[in-house]
Amino acid sequence: MVTVFSLCAVIGGTVLVCQFLMTLLGLSGDHDLVGDHGELDDAGDHDASSDGDDHHASSALFSVLTLRTVVAALAFFGLSGLAADAARWPASQTLAVALASGGAALFGVHHLMQLFHKLRSDGTVRLEDAVGLDATVYLRIPGERNGHGKIQVVLKQQTVELLAETSESEIPSGAIVRITEFSASDVVVVERVRSAVQVKTTSARALAASSS
């Protein structure tokens, strides 16, 4: 068993370190060891309820089996087995500890990766989410879409700088604008936000002009 534990520890540990280094370099990806088994649903005519339960259970198991989780399980299986063997534990207890550690690593890494993907997905900034939000002009925006300026907008609790253009007249720095659409992958279209004071002033001027 020591040989088996050593091989698992070396193989799993080596691949685990390589995956970590590749993650730092942005080259890694989490790939399933098994493919999509949905096509097996039509392989035979089984009872609907039992087939559905079996498929659900097998799908849940297969979803856990990815390269990262299996590598982590191998590494912890081997290391725990070697540690228990070095402590002179009985063979049955050594194997039990190794299996428990490998299983814990398998499901632990699976849940950590799910959490990581969820956080990464929730933190993704998309320009579609900015439409309708108010923003502050950071660099003046040329009028009549004759160039781009920059705006700052709070999007998903992050302050984001975006290139902006407008169909209106030039908008100076510091002005408040509203994002109405996005015209390209990195450019949004904005319009001035007229405050209540500006609206009242404009209305009063229009009323005065019509009375005179």
Q: What DSSP string runs through the chain?
A: -HHHHHHHHHHHHHHHHHHHHHHHTT-----BSS---GGGGGSS---HHHHHHHHHHHHHHHHH-BHHHHHHHHHHHHHHHHHHHHTT--HHHHHHHHHHHHHHHHHHHHHHHHHHHHHHHHT---GGGGTT-EEEEEE-B-STTSS-EEEEEEETTEEEEEEEE-SSS-B-TT-EEEEEEEEETTEEEEEEPPPHHHHHHHHHHHHHHHH-
Position 56 scores a pLDDT of: 46
Position 87 scores a pLDDT of: 87
With cut-offs at 50, 70 and 90, classify the pLDDT of residue 84.
Answer: confident
User: Residue 38: is its pLDDT beyond 80?
Assistant: no
Question: pTM higher than 0.75 for the full model?
Answer: no
Average pLDDT of span 125-133: 78
Between helix 91-122 and helix 67-86 the angle, nearest 10°, is 150
With cut-offs at 50, 70 and 90, classify the pLDDT of residue 32.
Answer: very low
User: Which one has a higher pLDDT value, 67 or 35?
Assistant: 67
Q: pLDDT tens, 144-200?
A: 889 899 999 988 777 888 889 999 999 999 999 999 988 766 789 999 986 544 434
**In whole numbers, what is the pLDDT of the chain averaged over residues?**
74
Distances (CA, A) of 124 to 112, 117, 146: 18, 11, 30
CB burial of residue 84 (10 Å; 0-12, 13-18, 19+): buried
User: Which one has a higher pLDDT value, 20 or 192?
Assistant: 192
Position 120 scores a pLDDT of: 56
Q: How far apart are CA 110 and CA 104, in angstroms?
A: 10
Q: Are 166 and 190 in contact (CB under 8 A)?
A: yes
Position 200 scores a pLDDT of: 45
Position 176 scores a pLDDT of: 93
